Structure 1
C-alpha cells in the first residue's frame, strides 16, 4: 500500500449540505483521513445534474444522478410499503438501472487502496471489481438489519424487504476486513445477530464539528438570548421528523412543559411538524426546520438540553451537538445509548423522573457549570470530527498496510507518558520474551516523541505519538491498531518475566476463555510510605491493566475500556474484567507474571491524598455494576486504612448522579 493511501467511500446520498446525521458522518469521518479520498454518491430525488466538488483539502464529492428508469422502479417497489420510499434498501438490485453511477463507483473503487461502503447498499454493484489486496471496510451507520425489521416488518412485502436487508448486511459484514460500528451496542448487535468475528469490529463513533459549535462567551450569549427573545431558563431539543423524535417532542409538550411552567422549551427542526394542530402550552416554542447557523444560535443561547428518547437505534447525533455547545443534558438511557466518556455531562432520567431531574438541574447553577465543562471536554476528547477523522485514517492505513500478512498471536499494548527511560527498559525486556509470536504497539502521549521509536528493538513495533491524554484513550487506541488475536496490556514501568507471554498462551486454547489475569508482584507490600501494586491473593475481582490479556474479539465486541473512567483513569480495568466475565472465562495465571516497581508516596503524584481522588470512579463502577460493586467494596475495605476514601466516593456519586445505597454508607461508618 502507498505510504499515503488512497481512499474511496461509496454511498447513495449527498454529503453537501451536511444536514442530518448520515451526511454529517460522511463529511466528519472521511473529511481528513490523511490521504486523497473520493466519495461517489447521488441524489435520491429526480432532476439533478452531475456534480463534483472538493469538500475538504482531501475529500472530493462526486454525485452522479440516477436514471429515470431507476426512479420508476423504486416507485413501483414503494407502493404499499409503510414508510414510503425504499430507494436505499433496493439500491443493490435497482442500481444497475443507473449505469453512469455504477461506472463512476467502480472506477473510484479501482483507483483506491481502501474501499469503504458507507451503508451496504452499493457493495453488490462493485464487489466483483475489487482486488484482494484492497482493504474492504463496512461503515455501519446502524445495524441496518435490526433497524429495517423494526420499520418494515408488516407480514407482507415490507417483511420481504427487511429480510433482504438482513441478507445483504450479513454478506457485507462477512466480506469486509473491518466493520466500523457507531457504538458498543451496535458492535454487540453485529456479533450477536450475524455471528461475525468481533475481532474485525472497531468503534468509529459519531461526532460533532467542535470548531464550528462552541459555547458562546457571556456577552455574546446574552446578545443571542435577547435576539431570540429568551428570558429565564431555556431547555432545547432538536430532531428530524422521525418517529422516536416525534414521541420525544410530544412528551415535552404534554408532560414536561405543563410540569415546569417557568421553563421555556424550544423544539427545533423538522420534528416540530409532529406538534402541528395541537394546543401547545405557552412555554413551548416550535421553530420548524432551521439552517445550521440558526441551530448554532439556539444551542449557544440555551441553558439545558433535553433528550427524552424512548426508541430508535444508534447514537443520537443531537447529543454531540449539545455537548459541543457546552449544554448540560437531561436524557433517558435510550437517548444516551452509545455515548461514553461523557458521564459527567448528563443526568439520566426516565419518564416518571424526567421533570424532577430537569427541575433540580435548573436550580443548581454550580452543577450546570460543571456539567457544561464536562460536556465540552467530552467532545474535544472523544467526539470531535477534527480528531476522529485522522484517527480513522490511521486505523485504515495501518490495517490496509498489513493486509495479506500473517497476524501475530499477541499484540502487547503499552501506553506511555513522560517515562521514555522506563519505556526503553520495558521494550528491552519484551525483546527477551520466550514467546516470539507478538508485536508491540506503543501509544505515546508525551510532549516530545520517544527517541527510540525509529530503532530496531528486535521485535515488530508500531509507534504512535499523540496529543490525546489519558491511559484509557491510549489503550483503546493501541487496541484498535493491534493485529494480534490476543491483546496483552501492561504498563510502561512494568518488568515482564521472560515467560510472561508464554505463560498466558495455553489458556487461550480453550475457546471459552476471553481473557487472562496475570500475576502482578511488587516490593514494599504493606509499607505505607510506598504505593505498591499487586494482585496476589486478590485475583478474580479487581483486575489491573498492568497485566491483563484479552482476546481481541471479546475486547472489540465489548467496545474496550469505557472512557467514562478517564480523568483520572481508574477502575476501567475492573469494569472491563467484569464485563469479560459476563461473556466468558477469565482465569488467573501465576506463570504469566510481571513485576511492578513500587513508587514512593513522597512523590506528589503518588501521595495518598492525590491517589485517593481516583476513588471518585467507584461511583461509576457502582452505577454500572450494582450487583458486584458491594463485594469489591467489602473485600478492599479501603475506608479502614484510607481516611480520604469515603469522601471521594461520595464526591463521585454527586458528580455522576449516583445514589450510594444506605447499607454501603452504614458499612463505611
Structure 2
C-alpha cells in the first residue's frame, strides 16, 4: 500500500478561507468567460467567496453581476466603488468586505485556470509567506502583435519578480495574507498604475514576510490586438515607472537618443533581416521574427513617452487602512 508523504498530505489539507477580489470596469464582454472560470475552480466552494467590485461601469456590467450573484452555485458578493475611478480603490473596497484569511486578486479580462486557487494558496502553508504571485500566460492569439508579445513573454511575472529594486507580483495573479494589510495599509486608492509594485514593496521593505512564486498557479490574459492598444499598454508601463520613482526612488528607464534608434534600425536592415530571411526559407522563423526589433523599439519609445509625460497626482500619496 502506497502512502503519500506527510508534507503532501498536509499541503492538500491546507484549505484556508479565501476571498477573491476582482475589480470590474465596463467588463460586460469579459464577464461570461470570467464567470465560467470561477465556476470551474477546484478549490472547495464553501471555502471561497468571490467579491466582484463594480467601479462605476457605464455598460451592462452591474445588471449582469446582479443576476449572476442571485443565481450562482458559488458565493458571489457584488460590491460597488463609485467614489474613486481606480482599480486599486475597487480592490480596497473588496479587501474591506472580505472575510477570508487569504485575499486573492485577478482581473475581469483574465481567465484563471481550474487549479488556480489550489496552487496559489498552497505556499501560504508556510506562515512566513505573506505574498504569493502566480504566473500569467497569454490566451491563444494569431495576430502579429499577439505573437510578438507572446514571444517577448510580456505578461509573465518573471519580469516583475526579477525587478532590481525589489520583486513584486502583478495583481492579475496575486494573493496576500489579509492580516498583513493591518500593518502595511491597503492599496493607494488614487494611484492609476503601479499599485501592485507599491503594495508588495511596502510589505517586503517593512520585513512583514516573504514573497513566493507559484509557477503552476496560472491565469491567462489577452494580449493587445492593435498598435493603439499596444502603445497605451507601454505608455502605462512608463507612467508606472515614473510614479514608482516618485514614491520609492527607483531608477527611471534611460531614454534612447534618436541616433541610437537609427543605428539599431540600420543594423536590423543589414544583419537581422537577411538572417531571418534565411531562417524563414528553411522554416525556422516566422514573419514576427522580422519585426521583433522595430516593434521592440516602438514599445520602448512609448514607454519613454509615458515616463516623460507622467506626473504623480498629489493624492496618490494617500494610503487607505483597514
TM-score (norm 1): 0.33
Cα distance in 2, alignment partners of residues 654 and 551 from structure 1:
28
Per-residue CA distance 1:619-646 (angstroms, 9 max, x = gap): 22012222xx33x958xxx878421322
Q: Is 1:575 matched up with 2:198?
A: yes
- Looking at CA atoms only, which structure, 1 or 2, has the larger radius of gyration? 1
Per-residue CA distance 1:218-245 (angstroms, 9 max, x = gap): xxxxxxxxxxxxxxxxxxxxxxxxxxxx
Q: Is 1:485 matched up with 2:93?
A: no
Q: How does 1:15-54 map to 2 (within 5 A)?
A: none
Q: Is 1:499 matched up with 2:145?
A: no
Contact 2:235 2:307 in 1 (8 A): no
Per-residue CA distance 1:81-136 (angstroms, 9 max, x = gap): xxxxxxxxxxxxxxxxxxxxxxxxxxxxxxxxxxxxxxxxxxxxxxxxxxxxxxxx
Q: Which residue of 2 aligns with 1:451?
A: 64
CA 522–652 in structure 1, closer or farther in 2 if over 3 Å, else same? same
Matched length: 239
Q: Which residue of 2 aligns with 1:587?
A: 212
Q: Which residue of 1 aligns with 2:309?
A: 651
Q: Which residue of 2 aligns with 1:554?
A: 180
Q: How does 1:3-152 map to 2 (within 5 A)?
A: none
Cα distance in 2, alignment partners of residues 617 and 536 from structure 1:
16
CA 519–553 in structure 1, closer or farther in 2 if over 3 Å, else same? same
Greater relative contact order (CA < 8 Å, ≥ 6 in sequence): 2
TM superposition outliers: structure 1 runs of 4+ over 3 Å: 523-528, 530-533, 638-641, 653-656
Q: Secondary structure of 1:553's match?
A: helix
CA 497–480 in structure 1, closer or farther in 2 if over 3 Å, else same? same
Contact 1:413 1:479 in 2 (8 A): yes
CA 654–435 in structure 1, closer or farther in 2 if over 3 Å, else same? closer
Q: What's the CA shift for 1:424?
A: 2.7
CA 465–496 in structure 1, closer or farther in 2 if over 3 Å, else same? same
Q: Is 1:430 matched up with 2:32?
A: no
Specify every segment of 5 or more residues in structure 1 that has no aligned partner in the other structure, as ranges: 1-406, 657-669
Q: How does 1:253-652 map to 2 (within 5 A)?
A: 409-436=17-44, 437-445=47-55, 446-447=57-58, 448=60, 449-454=62-67, 455-468=70-83, 469-523=85-139, 529-530=145-146, 534-538=155-159, 540=161, 541-566=167-192, 570-582=193-205, 583-602=208-227, 604=228, 606-609=229-232, 611-613=234-236, 615-626=238-249, 629-630=250-251, 633=253, 641-652=299-310
Q: What's the CA shift for 1:528?
A: 6.4
CA 622–613 in structure 1, closer or farther in 2 if over 3 Å, else same? same
Q: What's the CA shift for 1:464?
A: 1.7
Specify every segment of 5 or more residues in structure 2 that has no aligned partner in the other structure, as ranges: 1-14, 162-166, 255-295, 315-322
Contact 1:580 1:586 in 2 (8 A): no
Aligned CA-pair RMSD: 3.0
TM-score (norm 2): 0.66
CA 655–497 in structure 1, closer or farther in 2 if over 3 Å, else same? closer
Q: Secondary structure of 1:511's match?
A: coil
